[in-house]
Amino acid sequence: MNMPEPPAAPASPDRSAEILVRIRSTFAEKGFDGASMQDLARAAGMSVGNFYRYFPSKDAIVAAMCAHDMAEMEADFADVRLAEDPLPLIRRKIREKIEDSDDHGRLWAEITAVAQRKPEIAQISCGVEEVVTRNLVQVFARLAGLPEEEAQARFGVQVRFVILLVKSAAMRHASQPDPEVEALVMRTIDDTLNAITSAARE
Question: Residue 155: pLDDT band by 50, 70, 90 thresholds?
Answer: very high
Residues 87, 155 within the same domain = yes
**Proportion of the chain above pLDDT 70, given as a percent:** 92
Closest CA to 135 of 95, 194, 76, 200: 76
Same domain, 79 and 1: no
Task: Say yes or no: 52 and 66 in one domain.
Answer: no
Instruction: Verify that 36 and 79 share a domain, yes or no.
Output: no
pLDDT reading at 88 higher than 50: yes
pLDDT confidence band for 12 (50 / 70 / 90) = low
Q: Tell whether 35 and 123 lie within a shared domain.
A: no
Mean pLDDT along residues 9-19? 72
pLDDT at res. 190: 93
> What DSSP line would sit under 98-124, residue for residue?
HHT-HHHHHHHHHHHHHHTT-HHHHHH
pTM of the model: 0.80
Neighbours of 172 (CB within 10 A): 18
Same domain, 180 and 117: yes
Residues 113 and 134 in one domain: yes
Span 173-201, pLDDT tens digits: 878 888 899 999 999 999 999 998 888 77
Alpha-carbon dihedral angle through residues 28, 13, 49, 55, given to the nearest 10 degrees: -50
The verdict on 36 and 65 lying in the same domain is no
> How many domains would you assign to the chain?
2
CA 68 to chain centre: 8
CA atoms within 13 A of residue 190's CA, in its CB half-sphere: 9
Residue 197: per-residue pLDDT: 86
Residues 119 and 177 in one domain: yes
Its domain, for residue 38, covers: 1-56
Exposed, middle or buried: residue 88 (CB in 10 Å: 0-12, 13-18, 19+)?
Answer: exposed
Mean pLDDT, all residues of the chain: 85
* Residue pLDDT, tens place only, 119-150: 888 888 888 889 899 999 999 998 888 999 99
